[in-house]
Chain A
Amino acid sequence: SQTIHQWPATLVQPVGSPLSLECTVEGTSNPNLYWYRQAAGRGLQLLFYSVGIGQISSEVPQNLSASRPQDRQFILSSKKLLLSDSGFYLCAWGGGANYGYTFGSGTRLTVV
């Protein structure tokens, strides 16, 4: 069966520090992968998605970047965090009308 792993679960980082969040998927190959952010009053905002290794599409200009170094690995990064980067970050894989996406358990990032 397919599973998605996301870590860490919580993270407190100072302003200006770097960020690396990792997401891996098991039990499937060449998945579509997504990073979303849930911030107060903004719902689930799509940040990046990837349809293959090295292929990244960015939806909004921001202080973040994403990479897909391996087929089932998706990384969200920042060189210098801002206070506005605080939120709940979710990785997801999949797609299609019958089952939609499978989300990871999320990372609560607090920038202080």
Chain B
Amino acid sequence: DQQVKQNSPSLSVQEGRISILNCDYTNSMFDYFLWYKKYPAEGPTFLISISSIKDKNEDGRFTVFLNKSAKHLSLHIVPSQPGDSAVYFCAGGHDQAGTALIFGKGTTLSVSS
């Protein structure tokens, strides 16, 4: 059972425009969600998170929106830059000790100049 789904394997955007990466989940018990960014041959790095009791969290060019009724979250990058080109992973987590993050399959973002 895939608890976290990223249905778009890739996304291409022009520099300066908005990038919108989507994520759906099936487990309504997640306490928070996170987005990670990954370059080839490197480990993922934490980008931004959102608690399940919030509907928006913003950090600079990155904003995450959460729609609990739809079990959907999205990451907005504005404006997009070529350096944003990477694989983006969505993950769901629980506050309960001894549990692990569940990741989606990732979306490859390509930002062209």
Query: A residues near B, CB below 8 A?
Result: 6, 32, 34, 36, 41-46, 49, 51, 57, 59, 88, 90, 92, 95-106, 108
Contacts and interface: CB of A to CB of B under 8 A. Distances in A.
A95 B31 CA distance: 12
Interface of B: 6, 31-32, 34, 36, 41-46, 49, 51, 89, 91, 93, 95, 97-98, 100-106
Q: Which secondary structure dominates chain A's binding surface?
A: strand
A105 B42 contact: yes
Nearest to A55: B98
Given A97-B49, A97-B93, A106 B43 contact: yes
Contact of A57 (B34, B95, B98, B105): B98
Contacts of B97: 51
A46 B100 CA distance: 8
B93 A108 contact: no
Nearest to B102: A46
A103 B93 contact: no
A95 B51 CA distance: 13
Given A51-B98, A97-B32, A97-B49, A43 B44 contact: no
Contacts of A46: 100-103
B44 A44 contact: yes
Given A57-B98, A95-B93, A100-B91, A36 B46 contact: no
Given A43-B104, A46-B101, A106 B46 contact: no
A101 B44 CA distance: 9
Nearest to B40: A88
B49 A36 contact: no
A97 B31 contact: yes
12 contacts: A42-B105, A43-B6, A45-B103, A95-B100, A97-B95, A99-B46, A100-B36, A100-B49, A100-B101, A102-B46, A103-B43, A105-B43
Contacts of A101: 46, 101
Contacts of B31: 97
A100 B102 contact: no
B98 to A, nearest CB: 5
